[in-house]
Structure formats: structure tokens, C-alpha cells
């Protein structure tokens, strides 16, 4: 057995042997067994339930603070938000315990009072804020806008279901009632579904702050809590369902605490996910939410007609659809931008593939294609231009000056041709010009014009750089020449000019 394998097994066994994890699992099991399998009086249930939640939420807050202090720097901000959320949950639980101590038989003692609801809302807002503020790496403005629209769509869909199931609180319609109504509306499954959405986005991104197991536990906690939040308060007070609903809330809170503890243990033992999926750039959750809301709308209209609940659901469906449409418009705009960037990149790559980077002229490949097309259309004339004594220019003045001289030659060649003619840099100090419809006499004149244009000196910076070129000409037509042979003929003519010039220079010296 290899040392690496033994290290992995030892690390894994240490994670499994964690006593705090064992305690949390026992709390979940005890909650299910105690509430579900051993029903007791309501006051005893309330005391046990809120004591368990206080302990579990306190564990979540403390462990989150430890992860924020000792975990990776990139993730510390997220776990600070989680610490604040856990503290808010604990404050709400303690306030609820005070209420239970005063009146254990009150309905609010079991299902939660406005004070406790308010701190659940605060805690959930802190959790979601931390999830959405965690950096996902490089993100364009368009991608960030789509992420926000996706979250808003999920929230709108979940809120629609919550409003459909919502029971208006009893009591006088005063300011306290209005506050309780607002808090109850906020603590609906919407915030939990947004938490699910945020967890999924982080897990699918390239910079997830969770191990795979922590992400799965967090998603399970959010899903379970979202389902439990859809249950009306009257159902919680029904003795047939109360034990199981309380047990479910305990299990959901334990899962949340296990997320923090598992993340802490993974960090301590350097246990990492086995692999990383490629980040997905879309989510089906908003579309599923819209489809679910429209299915609910059809069901409500079919069963009860256009009543108050149907109007609420219809408005929710309209808002959800509008958000999805906005998301699609944003996506189409982004696709259009990507297509435009693709076209620009294609044009740039094509230019780089067929043009000389220094002078911007056509390169040898493009020139040969132009020559082939010209021969197919009729008679053409090729002029091959080679600079004389270019190497001494590089040696005396430097390669930067030599490059500037080549750029000047390219400019003069462009100015010396007609519209529709082609000029190219074949490589080094060798250029070529392609013209159509020239007589031999006119071709000879072009040779003289090009030679004159490339003769003399060029001022480059403070230097006077000599410029002289030899020009060879070859004419051909389709059926008699091919591009290679015609270019070779022009090359031979150019070298003949060079040799003649050298012979003349040699005779002058004698």
C-alpha cells in the first residue's frame, strides 16, 4: 500500500471519527426519535425543540467563526457572513425560549413568534448575502446581470408558492400585525430556494468555497428547510403532524451545522474533492421555477376560478415570466457580443495568416493565391523587387532602422500601383507586385518607375539610409505559365538586373 493511499485513509478516518459530528448526528437521530416516535405534551415538545435548535445553531455559529479564522483567506469573508447568520439564529432561539418559559401553551411557543421570525429572516439574509458576495472569479457584467436575474426569478417563483400557501396572521390590524405580516412574508421558502440556487452556482463555478460533501449537505439543508417553510402554521399545530415537522426542522439545522464542521475538518486534513466539474454557464432552476408557477396558475384557475388566490398566483407567474424574458434578452445580447467578437477575431486571424506583420502587405501565401486567380482570369505581369545592399543597412544602422526602411519601401510600392493591383512582401527584403492588362512596353516603364521610386536615401531618425532596388519582370497568361514558374521567371529577371549592375560597377572601377 502506498504512502499516499495510507495518508488519504488516515485523513478520512480522522474526519469520520470527529466527536462533534457524532454528537450532531445523535441530535438529529434523537430529534426524529423523540418527536416523531415518542409524542409528548405540547409544552415539553416546545422546550425540547427550542433547546435543541439553540444548541445546534450555536454550534453552527462557533464552528463558522473558527473556519473564518483558520480557513483559506479567499473564503474567510463568506464564513464571517455565516457566523453572523448563526448568531442571528441563536438570538431568535433564545428569545423563543423566553416566550416558552412564560407561556408554554401559547401557539407561538411552538411555531415561533414574530421576534424569532425576524431573526430567522436576518440570518437567512446574511447567509444569502455571503453566498452571493463570494467571488466567482472573472465575471463579465453580462454574466453578473444574468446571475442576478436568475436569483430574482427563483425568488419570485418561490414567493408565489409561499403566498399561495400563506395564512394571514390573526390579531388586530395594527403596526405590530403589519410587522409580523412582513416578517412572515420574508421567511417564506423563497429565501431558502435562493440559498439553494446560490449553493448550486458556487458548486458549479470554478472557485467554489465548499468541498463537495459540504455543498451537498448545504443544499440538502436548504431544500429541507424550504419544504418545511411552505407548511402553514395551522398544520404545525395539528398534533398529527407536529412531531414530524419539529423533527424535520431539527434535522435541517443539524445539516447546516454539519456543513460548517465538515468544511472545517476538510481544511484541517487537506481533503479535497476528487475532481472538479467544468463550470456551467447556465442554470435550469429559473426555468423550472417559471414552469412550476404556470402549472400552479393553471391548477388554481381550474379548481377555484379567478379568485383572490388566482390573482396572486397569476401576478407571480407574470413577474416570473418577465424576469425570464429579461434574462433571455440579456443572454441574446451577450450572444450577439460574442458573435461580434468571434467575427473580429476571425478577421484578425485571417489578416495575420495572409499579411506581413511588419509592413501590412500581403504575404507570400496570399500573393500566390492572387497570382493564381489572376492567371485564371487572363494575362498578368509580375514584378519582383529586391533591395540592394540591405544587410549592410542592418549592420551599420541596426535592425530597427532596417525595419523602418522596409516599411518605407512598402509605402512607396503601394503608392506606385493602380487600384486592383497587388503588392506583397515575400520575405526578408524581397517584394512582389502583380498587375493585369499591361503591354510589354508599359511593363518596362513600370520597371523604371519602381526602380526610380526605390532609389536615393531615406531619412530615418538622424540617419540618412541608402535605398536602391533591383526589379525583375515576367509576363504570362493562363495555359502558358503557372504561378511558380512565372514568379521564378521574374526572379531570374531580377537577378539578371543585379548581375548587369554589378558588371557595370566592376567596369567603372577598372
Site of grid cell 535605398? 467
The whole-angstrom distance between residue 80's C-alpha and the CA centroid of its chain comes to 25
Of 259, 223, 296, nearest to 63 by C-alpha is: 259
Measured CA to CA in angstroms, residue 236 lies from 233, 244, 469 at distances of 5, 9, 97
- C-alpha cell at position 455: 532609389
Question: pLDDT tens digits for the chain (510 residues)?
Answer: 444 444 444 444 444 568 888 888 888 888 788 776 655 677 788 888 889 999 999 999 999 999 888 877 778 888 899 999 999 999 999 999 998 888 887 877 777 777 887 788 788 888 878 877 776 655 667 777 777 777 777 777 777 776 676 655 566 666 655 655 555 555 555 555 555 555 555 545 555 667 777 777 877 887 787 777 767 767 777 778 888 888 888 898 999 899 888 888 876 444 344 344 444 556 677 888 888 889 888 888 888 788 777 888 888 889 889 988 988 888 888 889 889 999 999 888 888 888 998 999 999 999 999 999 999 888 899 999 999 989 999 888 999 999 999 999 999 999 888 888 999 999 999 999 999 989 999 999 999 999 999 999 999 988 899 999 999 999 988 778 889 999 999 999 999 998 888 776 555 545
- Find out whether 126 and 92 touch, Cβ atoms under 8 Å: no
Report pTM: 0.54
Burial (0-12, 13-18, 19+ Cβ within 10 Å), 355: middle
- What residue ranges define each of the domains in the chain, with the CATH number in brackets? 3-134+209-275 (no CATH), 364-509 (3.30.70.270)
pLDDT of residue 169: 57
Of 130, 152, 39, 120, nearest to 82 by C-alpha is: 130
Of 331, 417, 418, nearest to 147 by C-alpha is: 331
**Count of residues in the chain:** 510
pLDDT of residue 296: 85
pLDDT of residue 7: 44
C-alpha dihedral sign at 306, 308, 309, 312 = positive
pLDDT of residue 212: 74
Amino acid at each position: 500500500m502506498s504512502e499516499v493511499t495510507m495518508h488519504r485513509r488516515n485523513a478520512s478516518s480522522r474526519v469520520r471519527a470527529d466527536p462533534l459530528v457524532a454528537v450532531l448526528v445523535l441530535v438529529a437521530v434523537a430529534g426524529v426519535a423523540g418527536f416523531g416516535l415518542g409524542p409528548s405534551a405540547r409544552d415539553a415538545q416546545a422546550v425540547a425543540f427550542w433547546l435543541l435548535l439553540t444548541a445546534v445553531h450555536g454550534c453552527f455559529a462557533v464552528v463558522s467563526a473558527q473556519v473564518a479564522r483558520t480557513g483559506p483567506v479567499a473564503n474567510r469573508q463568506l464564513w464571517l457572513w455565516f457566523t453572523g447568520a448563526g448568531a442571528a439564529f441563536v438570538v431568535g432561539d433564545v428569545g423563543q425560549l423566553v416566550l416558552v418559559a412564560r407561556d408554554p401553551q401559547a401557539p407561538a411557543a411552538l411555531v415561533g413568534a414574530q421576534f424569532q421570525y425576524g431573526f430567522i429572516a436576518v440570518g437567512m439574509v446574511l447567509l444569502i448575502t455571503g453566498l452571493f458576495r463570494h467571488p466567482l472569479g472573472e465575471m463579465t457584467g453580462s454574466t453578473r446581470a444574468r446571475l442576478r436575474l436568475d436569483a430574482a426569478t427563483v425568488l419570485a417563483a418561490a414567493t408565489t408558492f409561499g403566498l399561495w400557501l400563506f395564512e394571514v396572521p390573526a390579531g388586530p390590524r395594527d403596526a405590530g400585525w403589519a410587522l409580523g405580516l412582513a416578517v412572515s412574508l420574508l421567511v417564506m421558502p423563497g429565501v431558502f430556494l435562493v440559498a439553494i440556487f446560490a449553493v448550486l452556482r458556487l458548486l458549479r463555478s470554478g472557485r467554489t468555497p465548499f468541498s463537495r460533501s459540504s455543498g451537498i449537505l448545504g443544499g440538502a439543508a436548504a431544500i429541507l428547510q424550504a419544504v418545511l417553510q411552505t407548511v402553514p402554521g395551522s398544520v404545525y399545530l395539528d398534533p398529527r403532524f407536529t412531531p414530524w415537522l419539529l423533527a424535520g426542522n431539527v434535522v435541517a439545522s443539524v445539516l447546516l451545522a454539519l456543513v460548517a464542521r465538515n468544511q472545517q475538518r476538510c481544511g484541517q486534513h487537506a481533503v479535497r474533492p476528487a475532481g472538479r466539474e467544468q463550470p456551467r454557464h447556465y442554470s435550469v432552476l429559473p426555468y423550472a421555477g417559471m414552469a412550476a408557477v404556470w402549472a400552479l396558475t393553471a391548477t388554481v384557475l381550474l379548481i377555484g376560478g379567478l379568485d383572490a388566490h388566482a390573482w396572486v398566483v397569476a401576478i407571480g407567474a407574470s413577474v416570473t415570466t418577465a424576469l425570464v424574458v429579461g434574462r433571455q434578452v440579456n443572454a441574446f445580447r451577450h450572444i450577439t457580443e460574442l458573435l461580434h467578437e468571434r467575427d473580429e477575431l476571425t478577421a484578425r486571424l485571417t489578416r495575420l495568416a495572409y499579411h506581413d506583420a511588419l509592413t501590412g502587405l500581403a504575404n507570400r501565401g496570399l500573393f500566390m493565391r492572387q497570382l493564381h486567380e489572376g492567371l485564371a482570369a487572363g494575362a498578368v505581369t509580375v514584378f519582383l523587387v529586391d533591395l540592394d545592399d540591405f544587410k549592410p543597412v542592418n549592420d551599420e544602422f541596426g535592425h530597427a532602422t532596417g525595419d523602418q526602411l522596409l516599411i518605407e519601401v512598402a509605402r512607396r510600392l503601394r503608392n506606385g500601383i493602380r487600384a486592383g493591383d497587388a503588392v506583397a512582401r515575400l520575405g526578408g527584403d524581397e517584394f512582389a507586385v502583380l498587375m493585369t492588362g499591361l503591354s510589354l512596353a508599359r511593363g518596362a516603364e513600370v520597371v523604371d518607375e519602381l526602380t526610380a521610386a526605390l532609389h536615393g536615401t531615406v531619412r530615418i531618425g538622424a540617419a540618412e539610409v541608402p535605398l536602391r532596388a533591383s526589379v525583375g519582370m515576367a509576363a504570362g497568361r493562363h495555359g502558358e505559365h503557372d504561378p511558380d514558374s512565372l514568379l521564378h521567371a521574374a526572379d531570374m529577371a531580377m537577378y539578371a538586373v543585379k548581375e548587369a549592375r554589378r558588371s557595370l560597377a566592376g567596369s567603372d572601377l577598372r
